C-alpha cells in the first residue's frame, strides 16, 4: 500500500475514532488536523503521535502536499463546505455519517468530488463487520429464497446532558434529525444494503423524553422494498437503559438475526457447509453495549477496515465499498421517513428535493 497522509477537519469525539483507526493502518498517518477548539485539537494530536500539526486556518492545512486524504468530522449539517473545499484542493474525501443532512447538500459533495476526480466515501462501519458480511453473502447466495421481511431496531438511551453538552445536538440545522439521522442511520444503511432499494415508507416520530431538542427521540417506520418485501425501522434515544441494536432478515427459506455484531439466529431450510462455524465464530463476541447508552462505547475496528478499503480504492483506481452515492441512500430513506411523519402519508422513493 502507498503512503497516505491524512488531515482531519473537526476534532470532536468522532475524530478520535478516526485517528485511532488510521493509526492501525500500515502506510497511513494523521499529519494534520483543523480545529476551532485548542483542547480538542490537542487530544487528536496526542492520539496521532509523531508530528501532527493542528491548524486554525483550513486553507493553510489543505495546502499541505503531504495530505492526500481528508476526514470530515464536523457536525452533520456542517459537512458540505469543508468536504467541497477538500475536494477542490485535490484531496480524497472521507465523510463521517451522514454524508449530509439533505439530498441537495449530499449531491453537492458528490458533484464536487466527481468534478475534481477525487474519491469519496461515507463512513458506515457496520457493513464491514464479519457478522453483517456473512449475512450479506447469504442473501447474495439466495439462501433466504424470496426475501419477505427486513427489520432493524436501535433502541438506545441518551441522557438530557448528552443533548445539552453540544449546542448543535438535537437541532435540525446541524444534527439534521434525531434518533434516526444521528444514531440509527447506521442500521438504516445496513437494512438498505441487505434488502435493496426502498419503494415507500409510512412513519411516526415523536419527542417523548428529552427537553430543549427540536428533533425526534423516538421513531417507527414501515417500509415496502422494491423487491416486494416489507420491513420495520425502530429508532430511539428514549429507551432506558439502552439495548443492543438488532437486524433481522427473513425469507421463504431462512431467517437470520444479528444483534450488535453477533449472529444470534442462523436458520435455513437447507443447511450448508460452514453454517455451524458461522454460529460458533460469530455469536457471543460483542460483550459490550456498543453505544447503546454511551456515545463513546463503540469500537473503531469498523472505521479501520473501511478506511483501509478506501485507501485500496485510491491505490488501485477502484471504487470504495461505500462511496458517496451509497452514503446518500440512508439520508434519502430518513428524509422520506421525516416527510411521512410530518404529512401522515406514505412517501414514495426516490426523493430528489429533501
CATH 3.40.50.620 fits 4-125+301-323, yes or no: no
pLDDT at 38: 93
Domain ranges of the chain: 4-125+301-323, 126-292+331-348
CATH 3.30.360.10 fits 126-292+331-348, yes or no: yes
Q: Give me the tens of pLDDT residue by residue for the chain, a chain 354 residues long.
A: 589 999 999 999 999 999 999 999 999 999 999 999 999 999 999 999 878 999 999 999 999 999 999 999 999 999 999 999 999 999 999 999 999 999 999 999 999 999 999 999 999 999 999 999 999 999 999 999 999 999 999 999 999 999 998 778 999 999 999 999 999 999 999 999 999 999 999 999 999 999 999 999 999 999 999 999 999 999 999 999 999 999 999 999 999 999 999 999 999 999 999 999 898 888 875 554 566 766 666 789 999 999 999 999 999 999 999 999 999 999 999 999 999 999 999 999 999 777
pLDDT at 25: 98
pLDDT at 292: 75
- Within this chain, domains 4-125+301-323 and 126-292+331-348 share the same CATH topology: no
Q: What is the 3-state secondary structure (H, E, C) of the chain?
A: CCCEEEEEECCCHHHHHHHHHHHCCCCEEEEEEECCCHHHHHHHHHHHCCCCEEECCHHHHHCCCCCCEEEECCCHHHCHHHHHHHHHCCCEEEECCCCCCCHHHHHHHHHHHHHHCCCEEECCHHHHCHHHHHHHHHHHCCCCCCEEEEEEEEECECCHHHHHCCCCCCCCCCCCCCHHHHHHHHHHHHHHHHHCCEEEEEEEEECCCCCCCCCCCEEEEEEEECCCCEEEEEEECECCCCCCCEEEEEECCEEEEEECCEEEEEEECCCCCCHHHHHHHCCCCCCCCCCCCCCCCCCCHHHHHHHHHHHHHHHHCCCCCCEHHHHHHHHHHHHHHHHHHHHCCCEECCCCCC
pLDDT at 288: 47
Amino acid at each position: 500500500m502507498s503512503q497516505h497522509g491524512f488531515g482531519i477537519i473537526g476534532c470532536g469525539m468522532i475524530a478520535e475514532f478516526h485517528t485511532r483507526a488510521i493509526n492501525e493502518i500500515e502506510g497511513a498517518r494523521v499529519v494534520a488536523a483543523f480545529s476551532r477548539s485548542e483542547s480538542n485539537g490537542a487530544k487528536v494530536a496526542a492520539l496521532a503521535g509523531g508530528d501532527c500539526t493542528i491548524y486554525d486556518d483550513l486553507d493553510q492545512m489543505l495546502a499541505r502536499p503531504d495530505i492526500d486524504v481528508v476526514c470530515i468530522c464536523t457536525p452533520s449539517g456542517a459537512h458540505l463546505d469543508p468536504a467541497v473545499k477538500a475536494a477542490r484542493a485535490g484531496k480524497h474525501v472521507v465523510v463521517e455519517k451522514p454524508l449530509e443532512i439533505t439530498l441537495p447538500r449530499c449531491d453537492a459533495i458528490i458533484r464536487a468530488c466527481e468534478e475534481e476526480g477525487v474519491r469519496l466515501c461515507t463512513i458506515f462501519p457496520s457493513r464491514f463487520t464479519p457478522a453483517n458480511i456473512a449475512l450479506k453473502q447469504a442473501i447474495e447466495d439466495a439462501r433466504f429464497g424470496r426475501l419477505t421481511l427486513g427489520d432493524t431496531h436501535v433502541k438506545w438511551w441518551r441522557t438530557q446532558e448528552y443533548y445539552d453538552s453540544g449546542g448543535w445536538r438535537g437541532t435540525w440545522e446541524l444534527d439534521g434529525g434525531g434518533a434516526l439521522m444521528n444514531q440509527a442511520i447506521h442500521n438504516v444503511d445496513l437494512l438498505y444494503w441487505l434488502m435493496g432499494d426502498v419503494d415507500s415508507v409510512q412513519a411516526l416520530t415523536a419527542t417523548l423524553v428529552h427537553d430543549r431538542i427540536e428533533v425526534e427521540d423516538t421513531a417507527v417506520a414501515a417500509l415496502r422494498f422494491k423487491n416486494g418485501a416489507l420491513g420495520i425501522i425502530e429508532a430511539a434515544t428514549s429507551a432506558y437503559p439502552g439495548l443492543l441494536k438488532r437486524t433481522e432478515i427473513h425469507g421463504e427459506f431462512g431467517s437470520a438475526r444479528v444483534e450488535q455484531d453477533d449472529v444470534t439466529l442462523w436458520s435455513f431450510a437447507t443447511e450448508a457447509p460452514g453454517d455451524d462455524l458461522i454460529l460458533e465464530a460469530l455469536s457471543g463476541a460483542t460483550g459490550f453495549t456498543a453505544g447503546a447508552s454511551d456515545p463513546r462505547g463503540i469500537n473503531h475496528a469498523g472505521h479501520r477496515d473501511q478506511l483501509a478499503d478506501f485507501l485500496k480504492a485510491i491505490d488501485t483506481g477502484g471504487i470504495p465499498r461505500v462511496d458517496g452515492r451509497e452514503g446518500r441512500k440512508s439520508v434519502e430513506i430518513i428524509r422520506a421517513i421525516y416527510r411521512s411523519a410530518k404529512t401522515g402519508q406514505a412517501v414514495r422513493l426516490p426523493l430528489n428535493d429533501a
